[in-house]
Chains A and B, each alone.
Chain A
Amino acid sequence: MGLFSKEGTFKVLFFGFVLGVIFWGGFNTAMEATNQESFCISCHEMEENVYQEYTDTIHYSNRTGVRATCPDCHVPKEWIHKIIRKIKASNEIYHKLLGTIDTPEKFEAKRLQLAQNEWKRMLGTDSRECRNCHDFDSMDFDKQESRSSDRHEEAIDNGWTCIQCHKGIAHELPAGYDPADDTPGGEEEDEEKDD
């Protein structure tokens, strides 16, 4: 009888609910713990290289005191994209164990490849993480320098995305990399439009 009686069904539902809350809550809490800056820089690879560079930039320290921490840019906010990124991050644990970038020299040698991975990811999502805070619709072009507002309007018209121009804004650019090679716009494209 037990389980199939009215009382039994109630008990199963109740305990299922309680266990669900505990497991789901625990899972989410654990995942959120890995979404803290303190977790990111608990690895010396992150703390000694990219974090130090980032402390010099406007995303770390600025007039109004609003900060973008590591996960704000590097981990998506929406749950499903977040989970996918977290699963992909297991590769980072593997390379942490291998010690792929455990010295500044090794990191510097790999920097171009690592940067390109992240640029590619951002390009693929139309700079989703940038746009969590920076929104074209909320930009007051009158408050920008005319050169910036011209470029931003050009970007809206052509459907460019943040990362195409804004590379190396929170971390140093890889040595020898010239962002002008990849930045969209310029004469060639203007000529194509005229045709």
Chain B
Amino acid sequence: MENIIRIENLIFDYPREEGKDVLRAIKGISLDIEKGSFTAVIGRNGSGKSTLAKLLNGLYVPTEGVIYVENWDTADDNHVWDVRQTAGMVFQNPDNQLVSSIVEDDVAFGPENIGTAPDEIRTRVNKALNDVRMGEYRLKAPHMLSGGQKQRVAIAGVLAMKPKCIIFDEPTAMLDPKGRHDVLRIIKNLNAEGITTILITHFMDEAVQADRVLIINDGEIILDGNPAEVFSHADEIKDAGLDVPVAVELAVRLRKRGIKIPDDVITVEDMVDFICQYK
């Protein structure tokens, strides 16, 4: 498969503040993201995962190393708009990323910025809002919506720019369980439609739904693989200050008691199935 994002020896330092040492947030990451894949990035607070997201979108420029998004160098000023159009970004706080007082105008903001023709904007806005099932709210004001609905509008705003890849930077961290569920379902639908998805999260039950899981600790990738592989290293994950999914935790403990549980049992559903069929 073709790679949409290539990261080579990436290092990123936050600029030096008075009297402080340079803060090195990313300490040498090399990584390829396949077109159409669904990658979850997990790490605790301060591990560098949000920094990585902002680097992918060209909001930050690498201190060392290169990031290519569809063969465009994110540090190249001539292509920064191409990069941001290709790799859209949804942020954590649903309130602070909506620009307009009307839902549909907000969705139109991105396409307007890149100079899309008015008729085309209208079509894209309607489609994007329907894709996130917010069509009936198109004339509402964002502050009348729930957190999950606002986040869906934010996703529509990115979709209207027709990105090939969307980076979700902890999109569900500030939502209630219902909102989380809705947003996650939309993320999965979009991925199924062929949009490359990078989901940054600290919810393990979200990560197990991805094709690939990356665990980042202290600016480095410590584990990389499909969810079953990654979560089989439960001890290393815990050392990085993270929890493992409930089902994995249970599996680890059951294995200690001598029950043979296959490695690919990582979701609650898998576990329920396994236990029901266990003889």
- A, B bound: no
Interface, chain B (partner A; CB < 8 A) = none
